[in-house]
Structure 1
Amino acid sequence: MPIQYADGGVVAEHTAVREAVGVFDVSHLGKATVAGAGASDFVNACLTNDLGRIGPGQAQYTLCCAEDGGVVDDLIAYLVNDDEVFLVPNAANTAEVADRLRRVAPDGISVTDQHTDLAVLAVQGPRSRAVLEATGLPADLDYMAFVDVEHGGRRLRICRTGYTGEHGYELVVDSDGASDLFEALLAAAGEEGGRACGLGARDTLRTEMGYPLHGQDLSREISPLQGGARWAVGWRKDAFWGREALLGEKAEGPRRRLRALRATGRGIPRSGMPVLDGQGAVIGRTTSGTFSPSLRVGIALALVDSAAGVDLGAEVVVDVRGRPLPCEVVKPPFVPSHVR
């Protein structure tokens, strides 16, 4: 996946997704299937969110945590039926997630890494539905619902998900059929004023929505409570990896929290920059930061000490390589969401 396409650029690609449609090749994402009698119950006892909240044909954002509550990965779980769950982890973490599941899987349940067998294409933006329909694909899906279809002699899984905040879809297809499908989607997108989009636009789009990136906003050192993902934890479940540690942190309160910062001065915050209070004391550090093409200002996500009492509307300063950048604490998303 390129940072940007030669005929595009990050801002042009970002704008296409917000105003029309963009097509992403996100085949670097992981893919794995857990299958066998009781597979859904097994996955539910491992990952944080509660698969009991959804039914077959629906997908769910969830977390794979370590026993200390750190986030090994955040991923999407597709509930096919009671005996099959399809997982889409982040690329670098696929092997570890699969290995963790495989090590504790009971007899009769298999965990198959399909990273190289399957590709994932994302169609995102207000004209995404028109693109799917023009390509002969079903698009009338509820948010986080999916359907398996035959298209061009190949099996295709279509889900109303995405990482941009816009109405969109992610399509899972056999790797050897991905190129033809990508070209067909791209041709239809061109008719709607859209274009191919790369990693740069993917990052600016997700940051505008306040969506976390694993390794920056969630990690082995940043728990779901610290990273703003407590909603993805099934607190009433009897079992999931990291349950006791997370219940303890919940009772005590996390020592730091992820905050969304919008620059009120000129400058662009980047990840890893100190966050200061009004007296110049360091109270946190940015985890993600970029220039928002939609707002035309700098925005960031930052882990801030809970003891600092930084709430909505508070003013802080980001140290941008020795230059103070005033920012306001806001509630994400930075831009309105059209995803539902």
Structure 2
Amino acid sequence: MSPEQQNISPVHDRHIALGAKMADFSGWQMPIEYAGVKAEHTAVRERVGIFDVSHLGKALVRGPGAKDFVNSCFTNDLNRIEPGRAQYTMCCNERGGVVDDLIAYLKSDDEVFLIPNAANNAEVVRLLTEAAPDGIEVINQHTTYGVIAVQGTKSDEVLTALGLPVGHDYMTYVETDWEGQPVIVCRTGYTGERGYELLPAWAATGELWDALVMAMKPHDGAPAGLGARDTLRTEMGYALHGNELSTEITPVMARAGWAVGWKKDTFWGKEALEAEREAKSTRISWGLDVTGRGIPRAGCEVKDAGGAVIGTVTSGTFSPTLGKGVALALLDRSAAEGDDVVIDVRGRDVTAQVKKPPFVEVGVRE
């Protein structure tokens, strides 16, 4: 596969045929929207939508003691789960900054499958490879699998129409086949709605996409782009690497301490994160429920009632569900839920209230 092809999804031709607006995302040409972000967002919240997220990274760590090795590197504790389950975790640097947040799928004590973010896949593979002891193999599988997310209240019906397994618990997965091709069916997602992420072989991804498009038609489903994916995750308060998490923004700052195995003997960045957790001096993540007229964007300053700058917006968008602006921000420890604040949106003050996300209530774990 040539370098040019590596940056094109296996569903690329389908996106073009559907008239998708395409844009560069982490070096990949991906669909931002088809019929419009609001329509696609609403389809997921009310019915069902499908997303091509094949740009996401994939890697396999295997060999005797692979689970223990990965556990010694990443923040969360793989001993909390058993084979057949998935876990959100983070790869940190020595300062506690987040190199990437990712999903680890525990296959066995000797095999762990990883889905990093697209832009960070190579770096995660590099760091693991450099740290791996003899006998542990780290394999970059970025273009071995495609990824299609099926999200929404009708997601079970769509998968059932294709003969794929449904109903397994949140953060579990099933390895099965479809039309003679292997596919992994994961009860995961990034929208807050009930849903699944399907991992077919790269070459079979287009055929599975076509079948899903047909299967969701009776439910008035819609293909959805990364624009709707972003509005959906922001409504839930889900972190996006590069915004709410980065090499400068730690799990403590992002309120992601729940994904840290604090009692583990070791993981990358442990000492720095323990010191930061104890000091309680860094800014931390909050939601901002906009009460004025305006849409905050990343980088906007946040001021308290007295006009003092107390933080910065990390993500901001128009919420199609609520019909107004919502944002995530890093704020000083002096901020508290219910506080009235002002966001500087291109020189204009927009009022908001500090809130702990999510901004909308959905059935993510149903």
Q: TM-score range by the shorter chain?
A: over 0.9
CA distance in 1, matches of 2:342, 2:354: 10
- 2:42 counterpart residue number: 15
Q: Does 2:336 correspond to 1:336?
A: no
1:305 and 2:332 matched: yes
Residue type of the alignment partner of 2:345: V
Contact 1:122/1:162 (CA < 8 Å) preserved in 2? Answer: yes
Q: Which residue identity is paired with 1:336? A: E
Aligned partner of 1:321: which letter? R
- Distance of 2:352 and 2:168 partners within structure 1: 39
Residues 1-340 of structure 1: matches in 2 within 5 Å?
1-5=30-34, 8-306=35-333, 309-340=334-365
* Distance in structure 2 (CA, Å) of the matches to 1:238 and 1:337: 36
Q: Which amino acid aligns with 1:303?
A: L
**TM-score for the superposition, normalised by structure 1:** 0.98
Distance 2:331 2:100 in 1: 22
Distance 2:113 2:312 in 1: 35
| Structure 1 residue 254 displacement after superposition | 4.0
Once residues 177 and 231 of structure 2 are traced to their aligned partners in structure 1, the CA distance between those partners, rounded to angstroms, is 34
Q: How far is the alpha carbon of 1:151 from its aligned partner?
A: 1.4
1:94-142 CA-partner distances (Å, limit 9, x unpaired): 0000110000101111000000111101000000000000111001210
Percent of aligned positions with the same letter in both sequences? 60
CA distance in 2, matches of 1:81, 1:156: 18
In structure 1, stretches of 5+ residues that fail to align are: none
Amino acid at match of 2:344: D
Give the secondary structure class of the aligned counterpart of 1:2. Answer: strand
Can you list the C-alpha shifts for 1:42-93, whole angstroms capped at 9, x where unaligned? 0000000000100000000000000110000000000011110000000000
The amino acid across from 2:31 in the alignment is P
Following the alignment from structure 1 to structure 2, what is the Cα–Cα distance between the partners of residues 267 and 120? 35
What is the letter of the counterpart of residue 210 of structure 2?
E
Deviation for aligned residue 1:191: 1.4
Which AA in structure 1 matches 2:99?
Answer: V
The separation in 2 between residues aligned to 1:20 and 1:282, in whole angstroms, is 41
One-letter amino acid of the counterpart of residue 144, structure 2: D
Shift of 1:253: 1.1
TM-score by length of 2: 0.91
Please state whether the residue corresponding to 2:343 is helix, strand or coil. Answer: strand
Query: Residues of 2 paired with 1:53 and 1:204: CA distance?
Result: 31
Distance 2:205 2:281 in 1: 43
> Given the superposition, is the C-alpha separation of residues 254 and 225 from structure 1 closer, same or farther in structure 2, using an over 3 Å criterion?
farther
1:337 CA displacement:
2.5
* Displacement over 6 Å in runs of 4+: none
Give distance in 2, aligned partners of 1:103 and 1:37: 17
Deviations 1:207-244 (CA, angstroms, capped at 9, x unpaired): 00000000011000000000111111000000100000
Q: Secondary structure of 1:149's partner?
A: strand
- Root-mean-square deviation (CA, aligned residues, Å) is 0.7
| Residue correspondences, number | 336
SS of the residue aligned with 2:200? strand
What is the rounded CA distance, in whole Å, between the counterparts of 2:218 and 2:149 in structure 1? 17
Post-superposition shift, 1:169? 0.2
Which stretch shifts more, 249-258 or 161-170? Answer: 249-258
State how far apart, in whole Å, the 1-side matches of 2:276 and 2:87 are.
24
Amino acid at match of 1:25: D
Looking at structure 2, the residues matched to 270 and 250 of structure 1 have their Cα atoms a distance apart, in angstroms, of 28
Letter in 2 for 1:183: D
The 1-side partners of 2:96 and 2:111 are apart by 26
CA contact (8 A) 1:226 1:254 kept: no
Per-residue deviation, residues 195-218 of structure 1 (Å, max 9, x unmatched): 100010000000000000000110
CA displacement at 1:31 relative to structure 2: 0.3
